[in-house]
Structure 1
Amino acid sequence: MESQTASSCIQVLLEIARGTSHRASIQKTLSDICGSVERYFTPRHLAALLVEPETGDLTFSHVSGDKAELLGGKKLRKGKGVAGWVANCGEPLLVEDADSDSRFPALFLTAKTKGCKSLMAVPLKSGDTVYGVLEMIDTRSSAPFTPKHLQDFSAMAEITSLALEKAYYFQAMKRMAETDLLTGLANKRTFDRHMEREIEVCKRYGIPTSVVLLKIENLRKLNEDHGTITIDRVLQLMSTVLKDEIRKVDVACRIRSDTFAVIMPNTLKMPAIDVGHRLSAKISQQSAARQMPYFSLAQETLSAVQDDVAPVLGICDSCRNEPQGFRKFRDVGSNLFQMFSEEKQATERRQYYRKDVQLAGSFTNTETGEAGDFLVENVSLNGLGFTTLLGHRLNRNELLNVTFRLDDSRRSEISRVVRVRYMSDRYVGCQFTDQKSYDTDLGFYLMR
């Protein structure tokens, strides 16, 4: 193993961190990070395993080195071997010498580790939950792994966890932004993006495209007669039929509450009309088989050819307007300052907005022990103003423990430490010393 210093480890950590600014794919993130780790340690075997939530088994999601072809895509039973032990315990593991380590034959010996001399593994965590393991076996220089190597490996695993979480949240938000949550189909935003591309292909290469629209005509009456649960079942039935009946190249979308669309690339109008009739018949058949209330479908088919794309332009918002939605926010440089400013303004509004109230409470002076009852007259996330029921001997800048109950449905109790900022006769204006940008009970109360 090559000589490693603290600076070289920091360089690897920086390399991983820099990559998080542009990686969007979870798979690409994991592959790039493993490449950086492999260049630093030069192991004979390096693997990243992810835990399957339902079974607890581990899947070899990335493998490099001598055992790559043997292990790629394979699974490891829950609790089995080195990775299974680390996933269960949530602690890093170092075996400096497999021949002399008494734990090795009983706990860690598998077909993968047979014949190895030294190994180490570290967990990938989100909070306290282990969702993966990084492991490496032997070095190409035949030198054993040491506690210093395990320390470096653990630091890299922590950065890896953050990078993977960022990639996950990016993909999760993207999926939420592009998917209709009830049906699982693409939503209007995704429909517009696909249509924009299909129209461009049609105009440039002369490849036709068609769109089949299916609309539930009596959706409002169905809702009034049978309720939202039945409506949800109807919509989910339609989405299931569309997923099962269309081609892999077609894209099924829910573009309005009562309207579904199927984008059919390289398809002329007449074949698309036939597909629309088949889909309508299948939906009616499935609806009757499941004893759902009757609903009628209106079908419309639009088609675009090279010389005439006008028929489909009316249903594609992004072909008429500037790109909106998810794509608008992909440029960090253009949007970060704007979003920061908006968040700051929203926080300030929450902090300094004062709501006029009439709430009973009590105070205790932490310095003098003076106590009394009061009536809260206004409150915000930043502080409150109250009038004492009797006279008081409070002074500015003194600290008080105040307690009062909100007049919400839960009768939430608020107990805070405040500093006296203003006094006028029996009225006292106070500022919370433990200011929070958002207090759950008080925040929801102020929104009413």
Structure 2
Amino acid sequence: MPHHERDILRLKLEHAIYADLARALTSTLDLSQVLEIIMEKVSELLKPRNWSLLLTEADGLSLRFEVIVGEGAEGIRGKTLALGEGIAGWVAQTGESLLVQDAQSDERFCRRFDDMCAFTTRSLIAVPLKNKGKVLGVIELVNRVEEGGFTDLDRHSLETLAEYAAIAIHNAALFQEVQRLAITDDHTSLYNNRHLYQTLDRELEEARTHGQELSLVFFDVDHFKTVVDTYGHLVGSKTLKELGSVLKSLVRAGDLPVRYGGDEFVVLMPRTTKKDALAFAEFLRRRIKAHSFLSEDGINLHITASYGVAAYPGDATDKNSLLNIVDATMYRVKESTRDGVAGA
């Protein structure tokens, strides 16, 4: 086929792919779906043997391999590299695209990932994903399927594709953050009671369907007003924030730690018997009691809490009843011994 006809066909293919990409990316705000669409279109247009999409970490000092396609992909997915490390790190740091025909002789090239997956990088293109001047990540293509290295035309095509991709990734990340804020207590970073109600509805239905148990642990900090009166509101606030961090570190994967309100907290424990939930509540009681709060501020505050435990279906079969019962159980401890655990 004559060279000019090949160029015309490629141009038509590019326009079709860009149109498809624009339509697809405006149809979803789910980040994983956005990345999947980008992956499909990159492979369709430029046909690299290997390619990866790296996103800048929250600290802005490193990049994480979010998508990787080709040989040795499983060994690299999720790994990170420092800003400035390797070709991708250089592109993220400078915000400039790079076409390298002989990677092995380029001083910026990092062989660490080739060694990890027994792969040899020859030619590559790396372009930044930029939105409003901020680098969100990098798309990197390695070794063409067809003979020869990548070209300036390939780099230009990838830059155009990256413009669409960066806008979609930015919008998806914003949406993800809005969703996170809607279900999170902004002071402790635990889940909020709104999310507890929604999740409890879903988990109760799951428990009914599969004949499983479900437990709630409800606790309230003892004498918290005394802490505030003695040390002030700022110390009280910082104590609750640190308590949130301690609680997050102690719950199991799959449990839902919640700031219910004020100095009240809940742990939703799906697929958990009341006996196991009582044991966990006792573990929680001991660990929180032993923890020295605000030690970095030189205060070394120790607190206790009162704990109630209730379970579905033994204590209640609906959300409101279960919450009322576990609340009442906790208050039995609060009004008697404090610093204790009781089951409904």
Shift of 1:191: 0.8
Match for residue 257 of structure 2?
252
The one of 136, 150, 157 aligned to 2:155: 150
The one-letter code matched in structure 2 to 1:269 is K
1:107-126 alignment runs, 5 A limit: 107-111=107-111, 112=114, 116=122, 118-126=123-131
Q: Is the 8 A contact 2:121 2:143 kept in 1?
A: no
| Contact map agreement 2:25 2:37 (CA 8 A) in 1 | no
Alpha-carbon offset, residue 194 of structure 1: 1.8
Aligned pairs for 1:122-201 (under 5 A) are: 122-201=127-206
Per-residue Cα deviation, 1:74-101 (whole angstroms, up to 9, x for no partner): 4445434432332232122234x54xxx
Q: TM-score, normalised to structure 2's length?
A: 0.76
1:187-240 Cα distance to aligned partner (Å, 9 max, x none): 112211221022213333332222111113543453344222211232134323
Structure 1's 264 and 59: CA in aligned 2 closer, same or farther, altered over 3 A? closer
Q: Secondary structure at the match of 1:5?
A: helix
Give matches, 1:30-429, under 5 Å.
30-52=35-57, 54=59, 56-66=61-71, 68=73, 71-95=76-100, 97-98=101-102, 105-111=105-111, 112=114, 116=122, 118-287=123-292, 297-305=305-313, 308-310=316-318, 312-313=320-321, 315=323
User: Contact conserved, 1:207 with 1:306, CA < 8 A, in 2?
Assistant: no
How large is the Cα RMSD of the aligned pairs? 3.3
Paired with 1:206 and 1:130, the residues of 2 have a C-alpha distance of: 49
Secondary structure at the counterpart of residue 190 of structure 2: coil
Q: 1:146 to 1:255 in 2, by over 3 A?
A: same
- List runs of 5+ in structure 1 lacking aligned partners: 317-448
1:17 CA drift (Å): 2.5
Q: 1:72 to 1:212 in 2, by over 3 A?
A: closer
**Matched pairs, number:** 310
Q: Is the 8 A contact 1:120 1:145 kept in 2?
A: yes
- Aligned-pair distance for 1:40? 0.9
User: Given the two structures, how large is their TM-score scaled by the length of structure 1?
Assistant: 0.60
Distance in 2 (alpha carbons) for counterparts of 1:141 and 1:204? 53
Shift of 1:66: 4.0
Write out per-residue CA displacement over residues 294-348 of structure 1, whole angstroms, 9 at most, x where no aligned residue: 65533322222179414754639xxxxxxxxxxxxxxxxxxxxxxxxxxxxxxxx
Change (3 A) 1:264 1:54: closer
User: Does the residue aligned with 1:260 lie in a helix, a strand or coil?
Assistant: strand
Change (3 A) 1:259 1:58: closer
Match of 1:327 in 2: none
State the 1:31 CA deviation.
3.2
Structure 1 pair 109/218, CA: closer, same or farther in 2 (3 Å)? closer
Alignment CA distance shift 1:256-1:125 (3 Å):
same
Change (3 A) 1:157 1:218: same
User: Secondary structure of 1:315's match?
Assistant: helix
Larger Rg belongs to: 1
CA deviations 1:11-52 (Å, max 9, x no partner) are 222332333345444344223302211111112222222334
